Amino acid sequence: MSIASSSSAAPAVAAAALNWAGRLWFAVAVFGQAAFIGFILAYYGVRTATGNFAGWNDKPLIDGYVEGDPMGNVVFAAHVLLASVVTLGGLMQLIPVLRRRWPGLHRWTGRVFIVIALFMALSGMWLSLVRGTSLSPVSDAALLINAVLILIFAGLAWREALKRRFDQHRRWAMRTFMVVSGVWFLRVGLMGWVVVNRGPVGMNDTLSGPADIVLTFGSYLIPLAVLELYFAAQHSRHGAVRAAMATLLLLASAYTAAGVFGTIAFMWGPYL
């Protein structure tokens, strides 16, 4: 192969590497989010369906089921059970083959996803601010910012779809996916940190250790930053930029896989 042809092939190789690294990360995320959905249904779903509401507290929670607080318990139940629906809806929206083959389904799951995402943010704010479920001021602040971002991004994704500006819609929809997944990223981020460091370095029980603070705000700010870099790399004409982004996504996939393993092994598995 001549030098000229190998150098002209390099950008295409970098573009393919970026594409495959993106798919790899998404495949790991699909597996990890499916485990999250499975846990919610097997733990909260089964206990709620059998009327064992007090059983929500079989695992460590801040409040969960509180005797004599019917309103708080109903909002908590709706919040945790709809968490499985919003997570499934977000995944379905991002799977290209579903979008291409069944555009009508994409529109309906999109509407359901956005309405439930808005409910998740509002019910989460209600649990924090009205019910008073709180771990520490830092983690409360991080969650409230997450809620506000869900409200703004979901609204923008919807608006762009209505205005038929599909490139902008795709961007806002992916940003919405990242912030709606913030709670999942938080668990994966915390457990990934524990797995990588072989212990809870810089962490404490109220999520206010130095590593906790980075990971609670990072649970949506880091995925959003990586997403913006991904958009920029997709539009870059430089093979080196795409290759660097592909490498970053490989590292992100490895960390996410470690975190998914940690959530299943330490956070959810022991309570099923």
Residue ranges in contact with ligand HEM by CB under 6 A: 40, 61-64, 79-80, 83, 86-87, 117, 120-121, 124-125, 127-128, 133, 143-144, 146-147, 180, 183
Q: Which residue, 19 or 57, is less far from ligand HEM as judged by CB?
A: 57
CA proximity to 207, closest of 133, 129, 137, 130: 137
If phi > 0 it is left, if psi is from -120 to 50 it is alpha, else beta; for residue 48 that is alpha
**Cα 59 to Cα 249: distance, rounded to the nearest angstrom:** 33
Closest distance of CB 133 from ligand HEM, Å: 4
Q: Which residue, 153 or 230, is less far from ligand HEM as judged by CB?
A: 153
Q: Which residue, 68 or 104, is less far from ligand HEM as judged by CB?
A: 68
Closest distance of CB 195 from ligand HEM, Å: 18
Closest distance of CB 126 from ligand HEM, Å: 8
156 Cβ contact partners less than 8 Å away, ≥ 6 residues apart: 172, 175, 176
Q: Which amino acid is at 3?
A: I
Closest distance of CB 143 from ligand HEM, Å: 4
DSSP 2: -
CA proximity to 24, closest of 249, 258, 265: 249
Structure tokens at 235: 């539009």
Q: Which residue, 144 or 258, is less far from ligand HEM as judged by CB?
A: 144
CB-based closest residue to ligand HEM: 124
Q: Which residue, 48 or 236, is less far from ligand HEM as judged by CB?
A: 48
